Amino acid sequence: MNRNEIRAAVLKLLARIAPEANVASLAGDVPIRRQIDLDSMDSLNVLAGLTEVFAIKVDEADYGRLQTIDDMVDYVAERRAAAKGA
Amino acid sequence: MHTALPHHGAVAAWASARTALGCTRGRLNLGAAVDRIGAGAAQDRIALQVGPADGGDAISYGQLAERTDRIARVLRRIGVRKGDRVFVLLERGPEFHLAMLGALKAGAVVAPLFAAFGPEPLASRIRVAEGGVLITSAWLHERKVAPLRSALPELGAVLLVSGGDAAAAASGGADTLDLEGLMAEADHGPAAVAMGEDEPAWLHFTSGTTGTPKAVVHSHAAGIGIHASAREALDLRAGDRFWCTADPGWVTGTMYGVMAPLLHGATSVIEAGDFDPRRWLDTLGRAAINVWYTTPTALRMLMRAQAQDAPPLQLPALRVVASVGEPLNAEAVEWGRRVLGHAVRDTWWQTETGAIMIACTPRHASPPGAMGQPLAGLRAHVVKRLGSGALEVLDDRAEVEGELAFEAGWPGMFRAYLGDPAHYAACFCEGLYLSGDLVRRDAKRDFWFLGRADDMIKSSGHLIGAFEVERALMAHPAVAEAAAIGLPDPTVGERVKAVVALRPEVQASPALATELRAYARARLGAVMAPKEIGFAAHLPHTRSGKIMRRLVRGRELGLPAGDLSMLEEQPDDEPQ
């Protein structure tokens, strides 16, 4: 899975949680919560969704690191690479 | 009207709160009371500390007095008079504290709005409060307010706090002003208007089970209850570093986020960003927090983020951890003891009570999971409403379940629902305020929360009214009827689900469920909109035509149907 595919899957996940958002128009480097309306439960569901969609372990303590779409793409790519290397 | 309690002077905690606040002969302006308390301490004591002390901004009590005086003068200059509304729509940050205190000094009635609300809850609350001036940020103005303004003539001038600038103000039109710029031009010197303790200070909105949201009126006397309860339940003291994590748009964000620390001469530590477990736990230590007031949802999210075998945190300054907003589970109490070094103290109150009423305090050892016992001066009862409109007070039993009620007339008690005297009167019976919360009182007189007597949904510490959710969904052309219910959730307490009956020509489908969720989120905002949509062929009604949400919820949870004698017909449809 390359970064573009990861990004597309992250956007699909966000669209599932916040169906009112136009995810195609989201900026990658601006905090997601500045662009779409997510409450704390939505944010937890985003993390749970990353675990499910990408089959990676998302540590909930990393919540604060995952502010933007770019953060998520980096995080997923990193975790997948680490899992392969292991 | 409700004077069952002894004279307030007879309760030592309330008498000493009055003295501390400088409330004499019935005169009290809480904005000025903060200055008085700050002046009693060193003027360079920090009132507001943004983030940990080693890097954030700090505002001293002296600076706080000066800036809030300027805000009061700006408000007067643009025509705000005693009793006029000032709405405050801001995210966590010192601007919220400054705006609120400035507006109180000006004699205005401050109405905080939750920044996560969608356009419908915002507009309905501004209308219920009969309009007024708004203080917000350029960002929130652009995103939440500007699209509403043409259809909301009740909204007067909009003042943009720092972060907004003159250019942003100019682009908002003639009635959009740059607060910072106006403050710089304003005269300095004390600006507080003389107020009576019974004159209104705040409107806080509650979303009812029927009808439009209600504006709960609190007077300046609410400060007496805030002061006394912060001492007794939170052990808050002058010079303490206090952190309340509640969002400013909710009543806890005002009464304990802004007022409690400043009425005690403490330092209010403000963590401006969104929830982040690492940063929050870090702030507890780095900001040397003494007293921490948070919510069960935040505690449960921290528990999830912490490894099971993580060593206890070293938090030598921390003295009290307390929680509010929804029932605190025993596991969270114990997690506090193990990881933070203190069992989490539960506290119970609601918008109408104005301050904490029941709490776990060191005075008696309440078992984990209990709400605790009433604070000094308050008398709580467990009652049952009888069909005739009378009450049965269930005090003579060792262990009892029923509705929680209080002898009316405590200092912070709400004074009205704005424009709705009938609804206000209905909250009282035989000298008691009826809370709407069902509780158990055990043989040792500790109270335990059981649930709501009505259909309010408690999600993530917020009370969500089913009707507001249903009304938004029913505006969708596919929906004939909707019932909003709360389903148990391990992290947020309850999550909102809506079960909808569609118009005859419409077919249920997953795509329609997603569309309805999007429709509700765009109108209500994420915190209030349903997380789940279910479909049913019909919704069950009472004979008088009200939807029986309790039965809808029971079906969702697979509970026995209970008494169906009130139904117009036996329900034979099951949610799909």
**What string of H, E and C letters represents the secondary structure of B545-560?**
CCECHHHHHHHHHCCC
Choose from A14, A38, A40, A58 for mutation: most chain B CBs within 10 A: A40
Do A43 and B521 make contact, defined as CB atoms within 8 angstroms? no
B276 contact partners, CB below 8 Å, separation of at least 6: A63, A64
pLDDT of B558 reads 86
- SS3 state of residue A81: helix
Q: What share of chain B is helix, strand, coil (3-state, %, to 5)?
A: 30, 25, 40
Cα separations in angstroms, A81 against A11, A64, B428, B476: 21, 21, 63, 45
B500 within 8 A of B575, measured Cβ to Cβ: no
Do A41 and B276 make contact, defined as CB atoms within 8 angstroms? no
pLDDT of B102 reads 98
Residues of B with CB below 8 A from A42's CB?
A: 526
Do A61 and B489 make contact, defined as CB atoms within 8 angstroms? no
d(CA B31, CA B531) in angstroms, rounded, equals 40
* Mean pLDDT estimate for chain A: 91
- Would you identify the CATH topology of the domain A3-85? 1.10.1200
A36, closest residue in chain B (CA to CA): B526
d(CA B393, CA B403) in angstroms, rounded, equals 10
Candidates B390, B79, B13; CA nearest to B231 is B13
B14 contact partners, CB below 8 Å, separation of at least 6: B8, B224, B225, B228, B377, B411
Chunked mean pLDDT (size 10), chain B, 576 residues: 56 94 95 93 87 80 96 97 97 96 98 93 95 95 92 95 62 82 91 96 87 92 98 96 93 97 97 85 94 93 83 95 90 93 95 97 88 96 89 88 96 96 94 94 94 86 88 94 93 93 95 97 94 94 82 87 50 40
pLDDT of B391 reads 92
Cα separations in angstroms, B246 against A44, B174, B256, B369: 18, 34, 8, 21
The ipTM estimated for the assembled molecules is 0.91
Residue type for position B380: A
Burial of B408 (0-12, 13-18, 19+ CB in 10 A): buried
- SS3 state of residue B124: helix
- SS3 state of residue B519: helix
Contact status of A3 with chain B (Cβ, < 8 Å): no
d(CA B66, CA B171) in angstroms, rounded, equals 29
Contact status of A33 with chain B (Cβ, < 8 Å): yes
Residues of A with CB below 8 A from B526's CB?
A: 18, 37-39, 42
pLDDT of B573 reads 43
Contact status of B276 with chain A (Cβ, < 8 Å): yes
d(CA B453, CA B456) in angstroms, rounded, equals 8
Contact status of A52 with chain B (Cβ, < 8 Å): no
pLDDT of B292 reads 98
Q: Rounded to the nearest 5 degrees, what angle is found at the Cα of A28, between the Cα atoms of A23 and A32?
A: 65
Between strands B380-385 and B400-407, the pairing is: antiparallel
Q: Which of A16, A40, A59 sits opposite B297 (nearest CB)?
A: A40
Indicate the length of chain A as a whole number: 86
Q: Which of A37, A43, A59 sits opposite B521 (nearest CB)?
A: A37
Cα separations in angstroms, B353 against B238, B350, B414, B484: 25, 5, 6, 26
Q: Tokens 């409403």 sit at which residue?
A: B385
pLDDT of B397 reads 81
Candidates B30, B32, B87; CA nearest to B203 is B87
Residue B247 sits at φ, ψ, to 5 deg, of -65, 140
- Two tokens, residue B57: 């901004």
Do B521 and A33 make contact, defined as CB atoms within 8 angstroms? no
Contact status of A44 with chain B (Cβ, < 8 Å): yes
Q: Tokens 């910072």 sit at which residue?
A: B180
Give strand pairing partners of B132: B155
Do B278 and A44 make contact, defined as CB atoms within 8 angstroms? no
pLDDT of B165 reads 55
Q: Tokens 């939505």 sit at which residue?
A: A42
B326 within 8 A of B488, measured Cβ to Cβ: no
Question: Where do the domains of chain A lie?
Answer: 3-85
